[in-house]
């Protein structure tokens, strides 16, 4: 799932980016409202975390612009303004949730999960493909009874493959889903992570082709018998 953080306070932006990335979300960051709008024009997001007071284009104006263009992406608005009238303005502008700074990080993460569910994003806690199982609440992966130790990117890639099952995912499509634009990975990075996943799965006892290569197209999971 891809989240856009629009926040001009670098410390808060870094805190949110780290917290969301650690929870396996793909995060892009903008430090002013105009840059935020440019991100939203370029990519589809599951959620926007939006500061109210921003340079170039304010949070209220950006939120209104989203709704005027019929973009229904959930918006969580962050602000130091805590009056009832401020909250009413933010919600009337199209925000779904209004949270006042300073905030509790775990409460904020819970609000984000709730908004993602409300927005239709898939938040399955546990998913399996045959005897391969992933638990998104703990990021634990097992093949049968064998635990796999995966890097965050390997976990995200495997989760993407299992979620899509027999649907073929191209390397450019995988890059778009799992890497932010400022990382600019090559397709070789996808190949490297696929090789690493296959090796770890093989050690756990999986067949060599549990992750299939569809030549000229991409990758998918092997049919479960």
What is the CATH number for 91? 3.40.50.2300
Q: What is the rounded distance in angstroms from the CA atom of residue 4 to the CA atom of residue 7?
A: 10
Are both 98 and 148 inside the same structural domain? no
Are both 72 and 141 inside the same structural domain? no
Q: Are 219 and 205 in contact (CB under 8 A)?
A: no
What's residue 122's pLDDT? Answer: 47
Q: Which residue has the tokens 């006042």?
A: 100
User: Which CATH number characterizes residue 144's domain?
Assistant: 1.10.10.10
What's residue 224's pLDDT? Answer: 79
Domain boundary among 68, 100, 118: 118
Are both 91 and 13 inside the same structural domain? yes
Domain that holds residue 65: 2-118
- The sheet carrying 26-30 orders its strands as 26-30, 2-6, 47-51, 75-79, 97-100
Are both 8 and 110 inside the same structural domain? yes
Domain boundary among 118, 140, 170: 118
Regions of the chain short of the pLDDT cut 70: 119-125, 181-182
Are both 65 and 114 inside the same structural domain? yes
What's residue 48's pLDDT? Answer: 93
Total tally of structural domains belonging to the chain? 2
Are both 12 and 109 inside the same structural domain? yes
Are both 19 and 78 inside the same structural domain? yes
């Amino acid at each position: 799932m891809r989240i856009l953080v629009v926040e001009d306070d670098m410390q808060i932006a870094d805190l949110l980016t780290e917290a969301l990335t650690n929870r396996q979300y793909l995060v892009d960051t903008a430090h002013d409202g105009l840059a935020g709008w440019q991100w939203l024009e370029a990519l589809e997001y599951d959620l926007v975390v939006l500061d109210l007071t921003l340079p170039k284009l304010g949070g209220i104006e950006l939120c209104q612009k989203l709704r005027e263009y019929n973009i229904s992406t959930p918006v969580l608005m962050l602000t130091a303004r805590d009056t009832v009238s401020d909250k009413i303005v933010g919600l009337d502008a199209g925000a779904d949730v209004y949270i006042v700074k300073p905030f509790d990080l775990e409460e904020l993460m819970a609000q984000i999960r709730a908004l993602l569910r409300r927005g239709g994003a898939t938040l399955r806690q546990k998913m399996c493909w045959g005897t391969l199982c992933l638990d998104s609440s703990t990021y634990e992966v097992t093949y049968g009874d064998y635990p796999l130790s995966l890097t965050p990117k390997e976990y995200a890639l495997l989760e993407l493959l299992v979620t899509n099952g027999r649907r073929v995912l191209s390397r450019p499509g995988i890059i778009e889903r799992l890497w932010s634009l400022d990382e600019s990975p090559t397709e070789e990075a996808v190949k490297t992570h696929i090789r690493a996943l296959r090796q770890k799965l093989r050690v756990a006892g999986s067949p060599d082709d549990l992750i299939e290569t569809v030549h000229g197209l991409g990758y998918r999971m092997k049919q479960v018998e």
